[in-house]
């Protein structure tokens, strides 16, 4: 077990394009670190640099205090689970798991002990003599994990290990990985583009975009205090709503109306022209559910509900609004960066399941401006971080 330190890591390909640009991340001993970002953000490249499958252009990679930049993968003593599992099809499950130990020239008796222990942990006992071709996706995934845990590696590296499983199995394996990591207490770096995995598994999460580290924080901090508009839009599902806003005095003007803003937020943002306001769907509520008296009148507005999705425990409502062309362009750009599509400018609000709002009808909603973030549209920086 060991800590992994990345110092100013840069990866440039032949054409000079920096796939990873000046990234510094410290993974503490025993920590579960998540690398997350849209496709092409360099997270997998960074992982492959840790394990040694990719050369490091500049910067230092330290594992357990030792600089490993020039060590071959086999000398780094890390174990890795590949996205497509990369099991050896000509070997049985037993031999697949035993493979690293055979290479290390262990005695047969010790190998047997270790393999049986791993197979018991992963519930693979009855499959040991089968070949990978005859296993289901989830079983293959467990064999890949078995091969990783069988030797005493300094750290585990996961490269989108669950992306090939169906949704139900993914949920089960996610819990399984979390449990295993807690029990073994081993340093883990986990690459994913799935934010549920990122939020639930990680002690800390590193959000990357186009090769650069955007924010490195706990899942809660990422969700509540995103440092910029990219992190705000990437973390959370459904994503944060972005609305054009201007702040004058203590009031913020949104396409739906003008609302009072907490003094601290107003102070930092007043008079800065057109800003981007970010409000999460759950920071809206149906006034009729909350009870008319309990809501501050100055924070309510009337909206036309276009579509409503009832999910049982909650419901989403969609409220389209008109925006100026440049704001629309900016929102489109943002959507592209986080790998999603926005067809129209609309507000997504998450309402209480008890709300009786009807589709194609007007409703009175409240907005929680205490939780609102305001972003500089030019730099994307969060002007209200920490408040």
- C-beta of 80: minimal distance to another protein in Å? 5
Q: What is the DSSP letter of 162?
A: T
Q: Does 93 bind another protein (CB under 8 A)?
A: no
The binder of another protein chosen from 15, 65, 72, 126 (CB under 8 A): 72
Q: Does 145 bind another protein (CB under 8 A)?
A: no
Site string for another protein, 162-181 (x = CB under 8 A): --x-----------------
The binder of another protein chosen from 32, 94, 99, 223 (CB under 8 A): 99
Q: Does 135 bind another protein (CB under 8 A)?
A: yes
For the chain, helix (H) and strand (E) counts, in that order, are 11, 21
CA end-to-end span of the chain: 38
Conformational region of residue 245, where left means phi above 0, alpha means psi within -120 to 50, and beta covers everything else: beta
Which residue, 8 or 136, has its beta carbon nearer to another protein?
Answer: 136
Specify whether the CB–CB gap between 125 and 119 falls below 8 A: yes
Q: How far is the C-alpha of 387 from the C-alpha of 95, rounded, in Å?
A: 55
- C-beta of 116: minimal distance to another protein in Å? 19
Q: How far is the C-alpha of 367 from the C-alpha of 372, rounded, in Å?
A: 9
Q: Does 140 bind another protein (CB under 8 A)?
A: yes
Give the C-alpha distances (Å, rounded to integers) separating 30 from 51, 182, 289, 346.
17, 9, 45, 43
The binder of another protein chosen from 82, 256, 316, 321 (CB under 8 A): 82
Q: Does 131 bind another protein (CB under 8 A)?
A: yes
Max CA-CA distance within the chain?
Answer: 76
The binder of another protein chosen from 133, 167, 263, 311 (CB under 8 A): 133
**Residues of span 29-68 touching another protein by CB under 8 A:** 51-53
The binder of another protein chosen from 9, 23, 87, 124 (CB under 8 A): 87
Q: How far is the C-alpha of 172 from the C-alpha of 194, rounded, in Å?
A: 15
Which residue, 155 or 207, has its beta carbon nearer to another protein?
Answer: 155
Q: Sign (positive/negative) of CA torsion 141, 147, 5, 74?
A: negative
Binders of another protein: how many residues, by CB under 8 A? 33
- The three-class DSSP label of residue 241 is strand
Which positions touch another protein (CB under 8 A)?
Answer: 51-53, 72-74, 77-80, 82-90, 99-100, 103-104, 131-135, 137, 140, 147, 151, 164
């Amino acid at each position: 077990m060991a800590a992994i330190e990345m110092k100013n890591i840069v990866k440039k390909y032949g054409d000079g394009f920096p796939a990873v640009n000046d990234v510094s991340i410290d993974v503490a001993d025993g920590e579960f670190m998540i690398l997350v970002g849209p496709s092409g953000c360099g997270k997998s490249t960074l992982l492959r640099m840790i394990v040694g499958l990719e050369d490091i252009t500049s910067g230092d990679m330290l594992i357990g205090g030792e600089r490993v930049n020039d060590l071959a993968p086999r000398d780094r003593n890390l174990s890795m689970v590949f996205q497509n599992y990369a099991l050896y099809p000509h070997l049985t499950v037993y031999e697949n798991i035993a493979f690293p130990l055979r290479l290390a020239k262990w005695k047969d008796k010790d190998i047997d002990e270790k393999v049986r222990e791993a197979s018991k942990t992963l519930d693979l006992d009855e499959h040991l003599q089968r070949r990978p071709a005859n296993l289901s996706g989830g079983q293959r995934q467990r064999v890949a994990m078995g091969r990783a845990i069988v030797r005493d590696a300094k750290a585990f590296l996961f490269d989108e290990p669950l992306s090939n499983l169906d949704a139900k199995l993914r949920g089960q394996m996610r819990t399984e990985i979390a449990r295993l990591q807690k029990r073994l207490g081993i340093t883990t770096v986990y690459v994913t583009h799935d934010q549920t995995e990122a939020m639930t598994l990680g002690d800390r999460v590193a959000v990357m975009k186009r090769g650069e580290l955007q924010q490195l924080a706990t899942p809660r901090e990422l969700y509540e205090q995103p440092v910029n508009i990219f992190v705000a839009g990437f973390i959370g599902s459904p994503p944060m709503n972005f609305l054009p806003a201007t702040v004058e005095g203590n009031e913020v003007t949104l396409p739906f109306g003008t609302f009072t803003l907490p003094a601290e937020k107003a102070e930092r943002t007043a008079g800065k022209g057109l800003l981007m306001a970010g409000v999460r769907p759950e920071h809206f509520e149906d006034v009729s559910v909350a009870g008319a008296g309990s809501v501050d009148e100055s924070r309510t507005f009337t909206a036309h509900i276009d579509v409503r999705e009832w999910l049982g425990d909650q419901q989403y409502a969609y409220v389209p609004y008109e925006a100026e062309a440049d704001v629309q362009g900016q929102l489109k750009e943002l959507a592209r960066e986080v790998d999603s599509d926005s067809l129209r400018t609309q507000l997504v609000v998450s309402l209480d399941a008890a709300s009786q709002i009807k589709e194609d009808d007007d409703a009175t909603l409240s907005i929680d401006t205490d939780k609102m973030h305001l972003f500089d549209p030019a730099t994307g920086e969060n002007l209200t971080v920490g408040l």
